[in-house]
Structure 1
Amino acid sequence: MNPRFFLRCFFVLALLSGAVAQAQTRVPARKPGSVAPRPRLSANGEGVKDGLSMVKGRMILTELGTSNPLTADKKLINGTVISTTGLVTATDGTTTQINEGDHVSLSGRVTTRQAIAAADSIAKIQVFDAKYPGKRKKMEEEAERKAKAKAKLLEERAKAKEKAAKKKKR
């Protein structure tokens, strides 16, 4: 056989084996003495605040990002006691029933779902005004102008109907 043929085959095999060896390299090990990264807690869904919330009819206690159902009455920093049914008893003796979506901070502050929604909408308006200064005012003026035009059109239609009714009577 031809020695050049064997030389070419050997050369091709050497190239292919080098490519395979490169694909099987390992990830370099960590430096000695380094610390492994700490696992992070991930919030599922909405932002989770520490405190107690009523979710699907159950009181959920969230501390340090970990949520668990409330199994016994919880006494807070300011002396407020929260029962497993969502009954909040303040230090002065007043009681409040927590509804779905309400939140009680670990310091004892009760926030209703309506207050949360109102604060969120105010924050969104402030962000919109900062991003588009004067645009909200223009939109309100445009809506007011359209409402006046619609009222005028309805008034004209009512007058036209009255005239048509008078012509029919004659």
Structure 2
Amino acid sequence: MKLRHVFHCLFVAVLLGEAATAQAQTKLPPRRTGGVAPRPRMVATGVGLKDGLTMQKGRVVLTELGVTNPLTADKKLINGVRISPTGLVTAKDSSTIQMAEGDVVSLTGRVTSRASIAEADSLLKIKTFDMRYPGKRKKMEEERARKEKVKIKLAEDKAKAKAKRDK
């Protein structure tokens, strides 16, 4: 009986000890001024293509206010440029350009080819690479030139060795 009473008291003491250590949730300390602000998150706008006309799969597609539909009739733009559903762009001075796959015409009438878009993208990638890793492209070019010189030297040495063996 005494042993049972001791266990009971011990059990109650443990429960009371746990209850005494439990605390309510506390507020977080206020944010320090001058600290690092959280990075802004990217938000999808829902617009996949820029507004304008694009040649896709041999058809001209018109995108206005984020809504894309195939072009069914000639479209006259702000500056007087006319675009046919087949991709024939006619300027005010009657000069014509045939759109190729991936070419884009803005709603103001500016024609941009797929090649110029790719070139602009690659130049942008080079600029961002140079900003992220200053001097690295120069080092890579020097390393490539050094390897090319070594390769040429090895080829010359092989040619000399072959000429010497042939004598």
| Same fold per superposition (TM over 0.5) | yes
Cα deviation for residue 41 of structure 1 reads 5.9
Q: Where do residues 94-113 of structure 1 align in structure 2 (5 Å cutoff)?
A: 94-113=95-114
**One-letter amino acid matched to 1:130:** M
State how far apart, in whole Å, the 2-side matches of 1:41 and 1:114 are. 27
Q: Indicate the residue corresponding to 1:30 in structure 2.
A: none
Number of residue equivalences: 124
Q: Can you give the 5+ residue segments of structure 2 that lack an aligned partner in the other structure?
A: 1-43
* TM superposition score normalised by structure 2: 0.72
Q: Indicate the residue corresponding to 1:131 in structure 2.
A: 132
**One-letter amino acid matched to 1:60:** V
Q: Percent identity?
A: 65
1:93-152, CA deviations, whole angstroms, 9 ceiling, x for partnerless residues?
100000001100000011011000000000000000010111111011111111111111
Cα deviation for residue 162 of structure 1 reads 1.1
Alignment pair present for 1:122 and 2:123: yes
Q: Indicate the residue corresponding to 1:42 in structure 2.
A: 46
Q: Can you give the 5+ residue segments of structure 1 that lack an aligned partner in the other structure?
A: 1-39
Conserved in 2, the CA contact under 8 Å of 1:41 and 1:65? no
**4+ runs deviating over 6 angstroms:** none
State how far apart, in whole Å, the 1-side matches of 2:145 and 2:91 are. 47
* TM superposition score normalised by structure 1: 0.70
Q: Indicate the residue corresponding to 1:157 in structure 2.
A: 158
SS at match of 1:61: strand
